């Protein structure tokens, strides 16, 4: 080799070394954790009340073929946490007898649909938060005054719930059921409580006593309050929405096994990173931690009706023809997969122990649950009944955000540690989350900037690790065909003490994981 070639090679090697050494270095101390009681992440999965039986409004459309396809998609996602909300009269409550007592039925076609969900959760060791939307025939129901129960404190409803849960856990063996959610968003004017705190807390106390008497508290505990902190009901001005969590923690901690609220953040809150403060996340995490109990978000989504997306979302809903006003039409967009992960990272880095995305499937709910096909709640990863109910087979295709949410589920197993990265200076536009589970690591990176960014991520780990890298890139999304190609690569033999080189394109998500 000539002197000239040697000098050229030396110069080239020096350039490579210099480029690597000039990368920003991010050092992570794996002993500094923000959360150690991770439940896991998952999704809201309801038992298709409009399509679960021959007597339902749409008929028995949820065939074995449909369930098989759902299971296949969930097998990729590997959720660890599932919220399964229902209504007594959709399943087991068949009205009142001549003495005004509930008629219960625990073996029918509608219940078999629910078993399809619980069977999957039991088989795959998925923690289930189960509950009912509200007192029968108050909300989420067609009008029925004959069989309407009084309110959240009606002893007949408390007894019904107890018998139902006892049947599911002890007779059916669904030990996956760990938490009970008593009334959806009870602080809202749209809830069966109309947002009345006194009614709701009395009902919670009665249910806890009933569970205790039935010997159920060793198997299931109540998760509360399940509120939307930003909502204030006109029917009860004595307790503001954000105060429900505070009152429950301070006055009724003895009857609660886990704490949770709901978050429907806006795009502005995500962009400006204010959602943790706006939704009292830090305060609520602290309240739960002080009591040695987990805190999770029982619903999380992005409202397109809150800011500069509002007019466009309404226009898209009208054009769609089947979307209710309670929808986010950005679920079809690549960007929703980036924004949801960024929101998740902000929450989990603040100490949240689990996230349940709203929701799995457009076919589960309509506005008011009145079965109007022109009023679908479009929030899901797909519409599994796209062909059957709206004659759109393409609606059954997987939407892009399914992939990024799947990574948040499968690569953060229960009992993972979330590493504290709060005080680490990151490149502009980068959001970082590091999860440790035993000897495995998962690194989530969002680049919300308009430029590709590279950095060297170091950890205090001596052994070499083999990572799998998944990249969520806009160039790999064909919106017309609703097809997403995931760029997956092996990154082997990484010495984390020397650093993992991360290069991530603009407006994208990348995860590095040792979990297979």
* pLDDT value of position 144: 84
- Mean pLDDT (the chain, rounded): 94
pLDDT digits 0-9 by tens, 97-150: 999 999 999 999 999 999 999 999 999 999 999 999 999 999 777 778 899 999
| 147 to 179, 368, 369: CA distances (angstroms) | 27, 19, 18
Q: Which of 416, 397, 451, 431 is nearest to 40 (CA)?
A: 416
d(CA 409, CA 414): 10
pTM of the complete model: 0.94
The two structure tokens encoding residue 147: 């069989």
In angstroms, the first-to-last Cα distance of the chain is 45
* pLDDT value of position 416: 97
* pLDDT value of position 14: 36
**Average pLDDT, stretch 79-89?**
97
* pLDDT value of position 6: 43
Q: In what order do the strands lie in the sheet with 25-28?
A: 25-28, 453-459, 500-504
Query: pLDDT at residue 411 above 60?
Result: yes
d(CA 56, CA 112): 13
**Average pLDDT, stretch 159-177?**
98
Q: Which of 259, 140, 154 is nearest to 207 (CA)?
A: 154
* pLDDT value of position 307: 80
Q: What DSSP element (H or E) covers 491?
A: strand 487-495
DSSP letters for 400-464: THHHHHHHHHHTS-TTPEEE--TTS---TTEEEEEEEETTEEEEEEEE-SSS-EEEEEEES--SE
DSSP-assigned letter for residue 364: G
**Average pLDDT, stretch 331-359?**
98
Let me know how long the chain is. 516
- The hierarchical CATH code for the domain 23-35+416-513 is 2.60.40.1180
* pLDDT value of position 139: 79
Contact assessment for residue 289 and residue 351, using Cβ atoms and an 8 Å cutoff: yes
* pLDDT value of position 13: 41
Query: pLDDT at residue 248 above 70?
Result: yes
Contact assessment for residue 192 and residue 183, using Cβ atoms and an 8 Å cutoff: yes
Contacts of 259 (CB under 8 A, 6+ apart): 223, 224, 225, 245, 248, 249, 284, 287, 288, 293, 294, 295, 296
Query: pLDDT at residue 2 above 60?
Result: no
Contacts of 74 (CB under 8 A, 6+ apart): 120
* pLDDT value of position 20: 47
**What is the second-level CATH architecture of the domain 42-410?**
Alpha-Beta Barrel (3.20)
d(CA 230, CA 248): 17
Least confident of 145-149, 282-286, 335-339: 145-149
DSSP letters for 182-194: ESSSTTSTTSTTT
Query: pLDDT at residue 242 above 80?
Result: yes
* pLDDT value of position 11: 42
d(CA 170, CA 175): 8
d(CA 298, CA 83): 7
DSSP letters for 85-146: EE-HHHHTEEEE-TTSPEEE-SSSHHHHHHHHHHHHHHHTT-EEEEEESSSTTTSSS---ST
Query: pLDDT at residue 252 above 80?
Result: yes
Cα torsion 297, 302, 307, 313: sign: negative
Query: pLDDT at residue 21 above 90?
Result: no
Contact assessment for residue 514 and residue 468, using Cβ atoms and an 8 Å cutoff: yes
Q: Which residues share a beta bridge with 490?
A: 468
Q: Which of 353, 508, 470, 507 is nearest to 76 (CA)?
A: 470
**Average pLDDT, stretch 282-293?**
97
d(CA 261, CA 14): 54
Buried b (16+ CB within 10 A) or exposed e, 281-295: bebbbebbbeeebbb
Question: Domain segments of the chain: what residues?
Answer: 23-35+416-513, 42-410
d(CA 75, CA 445): 23
The two structure tokens encoding residue 219: 């198997």
Q: Which of 360, 385, 357, 358 is nearest to 373 (CA)?
A: 385
Q: Which of 359, 375, 182 is nearest to 264 (CA)?
A: 359
Cis peptide before 300 (omega within 30 of 0): no
- Phi first, then psi, for residue 10 (nearest 5°) are -60, -45
pLDDT digits 0-9 by tens, 59-79: 999 999 999 999 999 999 999
**Average pLDDT, stretch 464-488?**
97
d(CA 279, CA 261): 9
Cis peptide before 359 (omega within 30 of 0): yes
**pLDDT cut 90: percent of the chain above it:** 92
Angle among Cα 370, 374, 378 to the nearest 5 degrees reads 90
- Give the burial class of 159: count Cβ atoms within 10 A of its Cβ; 0-12 exposed, 13-18 middle, 19 or more buried: middle
């Amino acid at each position: 080799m000539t002197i000239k070639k040697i000098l050229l090679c030396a110069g080239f090697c020096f350039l490579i070394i210099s480029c690597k050494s000039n990368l920003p270095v991010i050092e992570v101390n794996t002993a500094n954790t923000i959360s150690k009681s991770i439940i896991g992440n998952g999704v809201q999965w309801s038992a298709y009340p409009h399509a679960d039986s021959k007597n339902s409004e749409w008929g028995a459309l949820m065939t074995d073929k449909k369930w098989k396809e759902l299971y296949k998609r969930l097998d990729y996602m590997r959720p660890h946490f599932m919220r399964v909300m229902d209504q007594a009269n959709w399943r087991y409550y068949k009205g009142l007898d001549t003495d005004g007592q509930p008629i219960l039925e625990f073996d029918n076609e509608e219940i078999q649909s629910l078993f399809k969900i619980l069977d999957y959760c039991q088989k795959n060791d998925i923690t289930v938060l189960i509950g009912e939307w509200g007192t029968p025939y108050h909300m989420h129901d067609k009008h029925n005054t004959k069989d309407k129960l009084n309110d959240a404190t009606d002893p007949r409803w408390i007894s019904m719930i107890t018998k139902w849960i006892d049947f599911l856990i002890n007779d059916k063996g669904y030990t996956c059921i760990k938490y009970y959610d008593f009334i959806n968003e009870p602080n809202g004017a749209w809830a069966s409580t109309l947002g009345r705190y006194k009614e709701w807390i009395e009902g919670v106390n009665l249910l806890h006593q009933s569970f205790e008497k039935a010997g159920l508290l060793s198997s299931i505990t109540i998760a509360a309050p399940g509120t939307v902190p930003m909502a204030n009901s006109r029917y009860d001005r004595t307790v503001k929405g954000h105060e429900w969590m505070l009152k429950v923690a301070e006055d009724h901690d003895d009857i609660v096994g886990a704490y949770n609220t709901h978050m429907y953040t806006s795009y502005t809150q995500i962009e400006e990173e204010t959602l943790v403060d706006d939704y009292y996340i830090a305060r609520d995490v602290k309240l739960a931690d002080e009591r040695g109990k987990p805190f999770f978000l029982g619903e999380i989504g992005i409202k397109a009706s809150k800011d500069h997306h509002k007019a466009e979302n309404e226009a898209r809903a009208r054009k769609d023809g089947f979307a209710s006003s309670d929808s986010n039409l950005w679920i079809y967009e690549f960007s929703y997969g980036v924004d949801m992960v960024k929101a998740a990272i902000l929450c989990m880095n603040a100490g949240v122990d689990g996230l349940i995305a709203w929701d799995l499937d457009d076919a589960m709910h309509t506005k008011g649950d009145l079965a109007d096909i022109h009023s679908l709640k479009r929030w899901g990863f797909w519409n599994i009944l796209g062909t059957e109910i709206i004659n759109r087979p393409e609606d059954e295709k997987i939407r892009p955000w399914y992939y990024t949410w799947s990574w948040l589920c499968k690569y953060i197993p229960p009992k993972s540690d979330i590493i504290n990265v709060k005080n680490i200076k990151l490149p502009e536009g980068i959001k970082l989350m590091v999860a440790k589970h035993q000897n495995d690591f998962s690194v989530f990176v969002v680049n919300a900037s308009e430029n590709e960014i590279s950095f060297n991520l170091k950890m205090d780990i001596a052994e070499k690790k083999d990572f799998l890298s998944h990249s969520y890139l806009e160039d790999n999304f064909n919106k017309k065909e609703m097809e997403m190609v995931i760029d997956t690569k092996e990154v082997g033999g990484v010495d984390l003490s020397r650093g993992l080189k991360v290069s991530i394109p603009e407006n994208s998500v990348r995860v590095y994981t040792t979990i297979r």
